[in-house]
Every structure is written in C-alpha cells, then in structure tokens.
Amino acid sequence: MAGTGGTTSTGATGTQFALRVDAVSKRFRQGQRELLALDNVSFDIEVGRFLVIVGPSGCGKTTLLRILAGLERQDEGQIWIRPNADGHPAAAMVFQEQSVFPWMTVRDNVAYGLALRGVGRRERFREAERWIRSVGLEGFERAYPHQLSGGMKQRVSIARAFAVDPDVLLMDEPFSALDEQTRTILQQEVSSLSEQQHKTVIFVTHSIDEAITLGDEVLVMTHRPGRVKRLISIPFARPRDVVGVRANPRYGELYEEIWQLIAEEVQQGPREE
Amino acid sequence: MSEQGVSVPSEALPAGRALRRPRAGAKTEVAVQLLSPLALLAVWEITARAGYIDQRFYPAPSSIVQAFWDAVTTGVLLHHLKITLGRLALGTLIGGVPAVLLGLAMGLSRWLRLALDPIIAATYPLPKSALFPLLLLIFGLGEGSKVAMVAIGVFYLAVTNSMEGVLAINPVYLDVAKTFGARRLDVVRTVALPGALPLVLAGLRLGVGTGLILGVLAEMLGARDGLGYLLWSAWQTFSVSSLYAVLFVTAVLGFVSVKVVDILRRWLVPWQSGSRN
C-alpha cells in the first residue's frame, strides 16, 4: 500500500497515516440501472506524501475525491482521515472548474474558510494576504475574479485551500483547463508549497506527465467500475524541479509503464456487471 | 475564390468583408447620433408649418415645447408627475420587497417551490391590466387600486427572477462552501444571496418598467391625478400638444426609474464585469 514501503519515507514522521481508504464502493442509480462507480477501493497514504490518482475517464477518480471531501457518501467501506487537533475539517479541496466566488474579492475568497470558522477580520485578512503573496498574486487583494485570468483564479483557489491549513489537500484536475505554460508554473508551485508545508496531497489527473512530475506515488485505476489497478512509486526526491524531472531517464520508463496500464483499460472498456 | 489569403486584392473579397471600412472618428459618430433626431424634428416642424401634415394630430414641435413649458410653469406637470412617481415608488416597495424575499425562499426551499410555483405559473400569463376592474372593486377609487397595479407588475417579474437567481447558481459554489464546513445559514449568506443578486436586480429592473406601464394605465382608467390621468384628459379636451408633452415626460420617468435600478445594481453587484454603459 502507499507509503508503507518506507523506501522514500520522510523519516521523521515514520509511518503515520494521514488517510486510509478501506474497501470503499459507490453505486449510482441511472434510471432503472445501477452503475457501480467504485468497487472495493483500498489504499492508505502516509503523512506528507503526494499521491496522484490516474485512470481512464469515467473510472470514478473524481467520485473518490468527492467522497474523501465529504461531498458524497460511499455505499460500502470506510474512510479514515487523521483527526487534526482543532476539530476543523482536515481536508480542503481545489476544484477542476472555476470555483472562485465571483462576488468576493481575492482577499475575501482566500479568507473564506477562516471566516466560516469565525476568525476575526484582521487576523483572517493577514493570513489571506500571506497566502496571496505565496501564490504570487500580490496587488490583487481587492480585485474581483472577473478581472483575473484563468491561471490567476486557480491560484486564488489554491491559496484558499492552503489558508485553512488543512492536513490533506484534495485536488481534482486543478490545472486541466489551463494552457501548458501556466500549468507547468502552477505544478511547480503546488509541488513546492505542499513540500514546504508538509501537506498530504491527493491529486486526481488524467495526465500521465502530471502524475509523474508531481507524485510520490501514482495510483492507476481501472476502467469502470473503478478499482485499484497498480500503485507505482515515483523515485524522484522532493523538493522537485517539475521540468528537470522530465529529463531523467527514469521518467520515460515510468511514462511507458503507466501508459501501458491505462491503455489496457481503455482498450478493454468498461466492465458491465 | 482566391487561395492566396495575404495578397488578395480587396475587390476579390466576399461582399461582407469589403463593406468593412475603417471606423469613422468618434466625434463623427456622436454627431450623426445627435443630428438624426434633430433633423427629424426639423422636418416635422417645417412640414407641419407648411401644412403638409395635419397639425391637429401632429402639432409642430415648437407648439409641443410651448405646451410643455406652460404645463411646467403653472406647476400642473410637476404636481401630476410627483403623484405618479409616488405611486410607482410605493408600488415597487410593496410589490418588490415581498417578491424578492419570497423568490429567494422559493429558490432555497424545494418544498416552498413545489407549493407556490404552480400558483405563480398559473396566474402569470393573465394580462395584469385585466385585473384592474377587480382591484377597483377591492381597493376602491382611491390610491389603493393604483398602487396595487404597480405592485402586481413589479411582483411577478421580481419573484420569478429572484427564484431563478438562486437556482442558476453553479453547484460547484455550494460544494466549495460545504468543503469549508459551511452550515445551512452560512450557505444562504455567503453563496445563495450574493449569487442570486444579479438576477434579483434584473427582475426589479424589468418589474419597475412593467409597474410604470400598469400604473399609468390605471391612472387613465380610474384616477383624478397622475400622468395617466393627464394624458387621458388631454385626449378628452383635444389638447394634442399637451398630450405629446405628457408622453415625453412619461418616457423620461420610465428611463430614469430604470436608471435608478441600474445605479443600485452597480452599487450592489460590483463584481459583474458587464455593467452596462
């Protein structure tokens, strides 16, 4: 299982788990038919690790993330997230689509989670401004989202998630709508920030390249119903240069390996029950 | 069709393209916009004086200005304008405030929507003007029936738009609120209300316009004052120039009342990029 191997363990944390998924299944009703979206999915992840989930579209990876975020309930199985000291939600999510509130300024957006916790105005703005600086949006504190580019909005979304200091960050294809240059820059920032802040990250993508450049572990899922097909360790140390990593000879091998796994699934198509 | 895109001479371009010329200067454009109505007025004045058009129906602009000026200096126009304005304001308040509250509540609560939407949908197609006799019966000849007409005009557009405003909110915003631990009241305060605001104000904008139409109509049919009454009595006394003058004032009132909502919108919805004008 993820992280239990300990070969690239962060050391100090030992084998403390941030999150465990145990035999989770999820069905959707589609008219008369029942559709099995997730079938007996199990994995766990150590504190501070970056897990990337890849798989063919429709494999239930977004459903899995939504269950972890508390937006859906699994039909079977258990989710365990390491409780944090202050009783706040341990996970924060960055969504795929544009999810920054258009009616709030950048600062109010980033401070949103803190405002819901009842953190005072001055304190939450100070915290928000710190995160706005970290994602390189200094000077845009009072701007409204319609004044920002797609990449800038996604930076706001990332800052909003980091600002509540979650133990686990859930990211659902956060860069898929961005152009390649912006995507690469944001990949680097998320990689560095999550490393600096010792965050556990679960990152869903359909891009093999993104999976290898960002992940400590890559979990490949099967076509529907989504099962764990293979868990692959990425041997690159972090902090990591997301562009430099592509020049590593191991990168090509990993790409090939993951591609083969996904291609098998795509060719096979969905299994009907 | 020529394949050499870059070197094609303009004659070879399709007609639509060829028509596109460099834009004239901004000053020229403004001049054209100002001059064309002025030219129309000039033609009207000349043809009326020369007797080419019937002065009884189309009095010369100069005589309309004269009638307007007389109505202003005697205070008649201002008196009736104030009364119509008062009815419009009161009716907008009485119709608009409950409509917005109810519409938002319907957007938030499925049960309320199920209960009330059929009633609203069933009564909506009824021409509101057809209700006036009933309102006269209920509220009498006094202020009540006129204000009620305005209120009904505002109500329907405000209630449906406010409901749609909540329903049109992208569900991802609700997901965001939930993942950050928002409770139901937090969701209403931070997502539903601000998210619905653009459509709420669009509904009010349309409602005020409809309210004015119905208010003036009610004044024509059953009032002793107001711009509608003034229009009607100008027709009855065959003072056609005054008729035109009051029409002009009514148009200005319509324009200004919608502008007031626009200003309100710009103030309440500063995040919208497409603030008109």
For residue range B216-252, list pLDDT tens digits in order. Answer: 999 998 889 999 999 999 999 988 888 999 999 999 9
pLDDT of residue A7: 35
Share of chain B above pLDDT 90, in %: 64
- Sheet with A76-81: strands ordered across: A33-46, A17-30, A76-81
Helix (H, G, I), strand (E, B) or coil at A192: helix
Asked if residue A138 has pLDDT above 50, the reply is yes
Task: Give a yes or no: residue A273 inside a domain.
Answer: no
Q: Nearest C-alpha of chain B: how many angstroms from A273?
A: 31
Question: Do A176 and A58 belong together in one domain?
Answer: yes
Question: Do A175 and A259 belong together in one domain?
Answer: yes
Contacting residues of A for B180, CB less than 8 Å apart: 89, 92, 112-113, 116, 164
Are A23 and A209 in contact by the 8 Å Cβ rule? The answer is no
Secondary structure in 3-state letters for A121-139:
HHHHHHHHHHHHHHCCCCC
Q: Nearest C-alpha of chain A: how many angstroms from B204?
A: 19
B172 in contact with chain A, both atoms CB, cutoff 8 A: yes
Question: Do A83 and A105 belong together in one domain?
Answer: no
Q: What is the ipTM of this complex?
A: 0.86
Residue range A69-76: mean pLDDT, rounded: 90
Residue of B nearest to A103 (CA): B271
**pLDDT (tens digit, 9 = 90+) per residue, A113-124?**
999 999 999 999
Residue type, A186: L
Asked if residue A59 has pLDDT above 60, the reply is yes
Poorest-pLDDT segment among A37-41, A251-255, B22-26, B144-148: B22-26
Question: Do A255 and A173 belong together in one domain?
Answer: yes
- What phi, psi does A200 have (nearest 5°)? -90, 130
Nearest partner of B194 among B116, B272, B94, B109, judged by Cα: B272
Q: Other C-beta atoms within 10 Å of B232: how many? A: 18
Task: Give a yes or no: residue A131 inside a domain.
Answer: yes
DSSP A147: G
Are A230 and A52 in contact by the 8 Å Cβ rule? The answer is no
Asked if residue A3 has pLDDT above 70, the reply is no
Question: Do A186 and A260 belong together in one domain?
Answer: yes
Q: CA B159 to CA B102: how far, in whole Å?
A: 7
Q: CA B77 to CA A121: how far, in whole Å?
A: 52
Residue range B164-169: mean pLDDT, rounded: 95
Q: CA A86 to CA A68: how far, in whole Å?
A: 19
Question: Do A157 and A183 belong together in one domain?
Answer: no
Residues 6+ apart with CB under 8 A from A78: A20, A21, A22, A23, A24
Question: Do A114 and A248 belong together in one domain?
Answer: no
Task: Give a yes or no: residue A1 inside a domain.
Answer: no
Residue of B183, B186, B188, B271 for testing the chain A interface, max A β-carbons within 10 Å: B271
Task: Give a yes or no: residue A105 inside a domain.
Answer: yes
Number of domains chain A contains: 2
The domain boundary residue, chosen from A165, A192, A218: A165
Estimate the share of chain A in helix, then strand, then coil, as percent rounded to the nearest 5: 35, 25, 40
Task: Give a yes or no: residue A247 inside a domain.
Answer: yes
The domain boundary residue, chosen from A165, A183, A217: A165
B269 and A103 within 8 Å at the Cβ level: the answer is: yes
Question: Do A141 and A176 belong together in one domain?
Answer: no
CATH assignment of the domain containing A238: 3.40.50.300
Residues 6+ apart with CB under 8 A from A160: A92, A100, A109, A110, A112, A113, A131
**pLDDT (tens digit, 9 = 90+) per residue, B71-107?**
888 988 999 999 999 999 999 999 999 999 999 999 9
CA distance readout (Å), B226 to A58, B93, B231, B239, B243? 65, 19, 9, 17, 13
User: Chain-wide mean pLDDT for chain B?
Assistant: 87
Question: Do A243 and A127 belong together in one domain?
Answer: no
Task: Give a yes or no: residue A134 inside a domain.
Answer: yes
Residue range B146-155: mean pLDDT, rounded: 95
Task: Give a yes or no: residue A11 inside a domain.
Answer: no
Residue of B173, B179, B269, B275 for testing the chain A interface, max A β-carbons within 10 Å: B179
**pLDDT (tens digit, 9 = 90+) per residue, B24-48?**
678 888 888 889 989 999 999 999 8
Q: CA B99 to CA B120: how far, in whole Å?
A: 11
Are A89 and A167 in contact by the 8 Å Cβ rule? The answer is no
Share of chain A above pLDDT 90, in %: 43
The domain boundary residue, chosen from A165, A187, A218: A165
Angle at A164 between CA A161 and CA A168, to 5 degrees: 65
Full domain range(s) for residue A219: 17-90+167-268
pLDDT of residue A14: 55
Task: Give a yes or no: residue A4 inside a domain.
Answer: no
A69 and B182 within 8 Å at the Cβ level: the answer is: no
Instruction: Determine the distance from the C-alpha atom of residue A34 to the mean position of all C-alpha atoms in its chain, rounded to a whole number.
Output: 28
Question: Do A154 and A225 belong together in one domain?
Answer: no
- Token readout for A171 is 């990211």
A164 in contact with chain B, both atoms CB, cutoff 8 A: yes
Q: Nearest C-alpha of chain B: how many angstroms from A70?
A: 7
A89 in contact with chain B, both atoms CB, cutoff 8 A: yes
Question: Do A195 and A209 belong together in one domain?
Answer: yes
B269 in contact with chain A, both atoms CB, cutoff 8 A: yes
Q: CA B177 to CA A99: how far, in whole Å?
A: 10
pLDDT of residue B168: 94
Are A270 and A58 in contact by the 8 Å Cβ rule? The answer is yes
Question: Do A55 and A180 belong together in one domain?
Answer: yes
